[in-house]
Structure 1
């Protein structure tokens, strides 16, 4: 299971209270007023140290983090997070440098799902985490490259999306570079045309114990030509007393610089954060907070899950605290005015028709579907490959047809389609079509019988009878099928099975390789299953489609 390990290397000793006070005295003196010449934000904007919506309403984030990049099949979590009362969700994305890249189509879908669930989307790229100390972490410049590469999914979403440049962009090494690197990344995005409110995390694994962000926040804010940057502090073991929590947040408020608590928990491997003080201070000062995290934590910090196994009705102790406790989300969150006042286009197009396949070759297929409809017009479609509950973006098109190339011979593919409108709203998914590409080699005539012989909670045993219906013997074969409900083979006899996602390929064993004309062989297997456990709808033998018997 993929999961985020929130380990942070040991923090150096904190400065004394006197030193903290002395270092902070200059911050209010450095704070600058909004520059007189800057672009007028079209969505969220910062004014007087506060985050405002386009309508001018003060907006206070109350929400949680969701690890989308490691759990792309858990997009329904956004609806569950909203149902608990949140008005914001901070979504983990990847530039592809450390984890699987979230491409433009996926980012557009995340935004559409946030809007559908009336949530403000804070999008962050996670590959910067601990740069300078964490192996494989990338720079803020690389994060800026990523944002520019997916910009088309974000343009026009300034009232619904805040762009968090990079998660915890420095560890405990070389963090003095944070100031210059953050300014450069902000200016690159502005030059590229980003009009969004930008959010910047502190260094030192987000906890800013050396006060680099705190003491340079005014100059970073002044470097933004749009004067539209928000600062984000992550409060874990460094913030284990109310005095530390209040001192840090009070300094930003006094300097009229916007600050949110972008991550925090009730416990952590580097110390015991004072979550009660964090929640109380945020409420007293009218500041936003985003707890870590909905579900899916690993690496020894599973206690940071707010719900168990992504089940919304199984709140953990931490989940109960942040959602239902004093100063928690349920009691303090207010929905964004862009939703409650009906502002903006949040209505998605209708779902496209189920695609049909034509011109199927060994390496390509053409899909055609009934066009979607939308009051303001459909601007394009995203074609996705479906593997059980996982989707992989395949291509985008402006018309209701697409030709997919680069496919493997004698392989089953399942595709579905989404529609998009000019506001970035994404439709519900169309029905799915399964296509088996043609074989490069000689075909065989065959029939397959499939049945479940026994089953139990979470698993089952099955039998497959492969029949040679041709007039000549088959000597050596590969049988392929796709499970429709994420079943996974755990053992098989009569051949050697390999499984990628939901696609299964079985190569013959030495004692089953020969199937005489009008003869058959029988395979047996065990597998995991979901509740329904439907059987495969198609099989191929050496690339040829088999009839179901």
Structure 2
């Protein structure tokens, strides 16, 4: 979001896309990591962001009350606006320490972003991605040891719509490399160019090479959805291409209306929920410059929800119905699910041992009409060079997406085989693959789960 200082973007999605190359598996990481299209927390549990943005750098006195209110309304994540000093007063390391402390006190995962980069090339005075990296290095003391609770969003909407946007790929790779060389082990999030909306498809078509440039294989891509994403087809196509390529994506900002057009927030929310994709709405409170309607609460008062606030917190596929607290805080399920659904709770179904491996089926999260699951495959007493997991659906469940395995179905019968990179397991070692699926009112875990 260009915040209260930005004007409208008029752009249309157009053109055909190059096929994205599938990502390599995540490497060992401290704190958050990436497994295929899934964000995984420090305990190895899938984590789906459900939260909002908070403009801390412009409203520092509102931090504590805002985070408390955001948590009380059900969020599991907050994206916090910081400044590196090029356009707004720099948030020093001491302030960053306080932000992280308050996020942790409120059991919220903290996505920290530098806002000064917004619209570089079009916005006068905007910072470069290199300057954003300089900022992160300058406040590194506040970030060390917080990898389980903090994700670094290098720079907000780092390029506008001009020719400078073509530099996004090289400059993003360089920024990631510099952060890793400086010792940052955090999960890194990168925003798209074109004021975050990627209507030129620069991020989409170069995401695989950017991911591969991270030696930790721990980069997440963030698309901002405003007027460019005003139809269901544009939303589902954009998000679907990342998941088909095996790349992690989140909707880092979106709204229910905007000066550049009317985003389809219902499809954004529904698609994110169906595909297990994180989302972070813009924004808690304090908007100006003609986009005050994007405030979720009036005057930072959590008891004064606006139309947008009611929609994102309490509506279908909204935060209250779908957010699951990060397992580093306890992993609490939604406290107030819709009346038509039962409270989701993780459930597991172990495999019947077949000698070479075992498999455990876990329901991580569920919602009316669907759920997200993980299957963990573990080698037995001897190493294995490949594995096959199979079961029969008991309640006519159907996959909507899967990752880290090649999955085929025939009626109710499911067969999943290892990917090229996760078939070889040492004795006692394990790997996981995940999926989202549809379900009816009954969602019994299948049994037996066969592994061979």
The one of 124, 127, 144 aligned to 1:135? 124
Residue aligning to 1:276? 266
Residue aligning to 2:13? 14
Query: 2:259 aligns to what SS in structure 1?
Result: coil
Q: Is the 8 A contact 1:221 1:228 kept in 2?
A: yes
TM-superposed CA distance for 1:96, in Å, is: 1.1
Residue aligning to 1:289? 279
Query: Which structure's residues are more often helix, by fraction?
Result: 2
Residue aligning to 2:177? 187
Query: 2:133 aligns to what SS in structure 1?
Result: helix
Q: Is the 8 A contact 2:49 2:277 kept in 1?
A: yes
Higher relative contact order (CA 8 A, sep 6+): 2
Is 1:236 matched up with 2:226? Answer: yes
Residue aligning to 1:467? none
Query: 1:101 aligns to what SS in structure 2?
Result: coil
TM-superposed CA distance for 1:9, in Å, is: 4.3
Is 1:116 matched up with 2:110? Answer: no
Determine the C-alpha separation between the residues in 1 that align with 2:127 and 2:237. Answer: 31
The one of 32, 38, 60 aligned to 2:23? 32
Is 1:323 matched up with 2:322? Answer: no
Query: 2:224 aligns to what SS in structure 1?
Result: strand
Residue aligning to 2:4? 5
Q: Give 1:93-492 correspondences, 5 Å limit.
A: 93-173=82-162, 174-340=164-330
Determine the C-alpha separation between the residues in 2 that align with 1:340 and 1:311. Answer: 27
| Runs of 4 or more consecutive aligned structure 1 residues displaced over 2 Å after TM superposition | 6-14
Is 1:84 matched up with 2:73? Answer: yes
Partner deviation per Cα, 1:95-146 (whole Å, 9 max, x = no partner): 0111111000000000000000000000000000000000010100000000
Query: 1:322 aligns to what SS in structure 2?
Result: helix
Determine the C-alpha separation between the residues in 1 that align with 2:221 and 2:98. Answer: 26
Q: Is the 8 A contact 1:32 1:222 kept in 2?
A: yes
CA-based RMSD of the aligned residues comes to 1.4
Determine the C-alpha separation between the residues in 1 that align with 2:114 and 2:153. Answer: 7
Determine the C-alpha separation between the residues in 2 that align with 1:298 and 1:309. Answer: 12
Determine the C-alpha separation between the residues in 1 that align with 2:284 and 2:119. Answer: 22
TM-superposed CA distance for 1:54, in Å, is: 1.6
The one of 41, 66, 84 aligned to 1:53? 41
1:242–1:13 distance in 2 versus 1, CA, 3 Å: closer
TM-superposed CA distance for 1:79, in Å, is: 0.6
Query: 2:56 aligns to what SS in structure 1?
Result: coil
Determine the C-alpha separation between the residues in 2 that align with 1:6 and 1:59. Answer: 33
Determine the C-alpha separation between the residues in 1 that align with 2:127 and 2:150. Answer: 23
TM-superposed CA distance for 1:8, in Å, is: 4.1
Q: Is the 8 A contact 1:231 1:260 kept in 2?
A: yes
Q: Is the 8 A contact 1:199 1:229 kept in 2?
A: yes
Query: 1:198 aligns to what SS in structure 2?
Result: strand
Query: 2:145 aligns to what SS in structure 1?
Result: coil
Q: Is the 8 A contact 2:23 2:36 kept in 1?
A: no
Determine the C-alpha separation between the residues in 2 that align with 1:257 and 1:199. Answer: 12
The count of residues paired between Structure 1 and Structure 2 equals 329
Structure 1: segments with no counterpart, 5+ residues: 343-549
Query: 2:95 aligns to what SS in structure 1?
Result: helix
TM-superposed CA distance for 1:341, in Å, is: 6.1
1:216–1:8 distance in 2 versus 1, CA, 3 Å: farther
Q: Work out which of the two has the higher radius of gyration on C-alpha atoms and give 1 or 2.
A: 1
Structure 2: segments with no counterpart, 5+ residues: 333-452
TM-superposed CA distance for 1:178, in Å, is: 0.1
Query: 1:41 aligns to what SS in structure 2?
Result: coil
Partner deviation per Cα, 1:313-345 (whole Å, 9 max, x = no partner): 000000000000000000000000000069xxx
TM-superposed CA distance for 1:56, in Å, is: 1.0
Q: Is the 8 A contact 2:11 2:228 kept in 1?
A: no
1:333–1:201 distance in 2 versus 1, CA, 3 Å: same
Determine the C-alpha separation between the residues in 2 that align with 1:124 and 1:14. Answer: 26
Determine the C-alpha separation between the residues in 2 that align with 1:235 and 1:158. Answer: 27
Residue aligning to 2:52? 64
Determine the C-alpha separation between the residues in 2 that align with 1:272 and 1:213. Answer: 22
Q: Is the 8 A contact 1:159 1:338 kept in 2?
A: yes
With structure 2 as the length reference, what TM-score do the two structures score? 0.71
Query: 1:327 aligns to what SS in structure 2?
Result: coil
Determine the C-alpha separation between the residues in 2 that align with 1:247 and 1:47. Answer: 22
With structure 1 as the length reference, what TM-score do the two structures score? 0.59
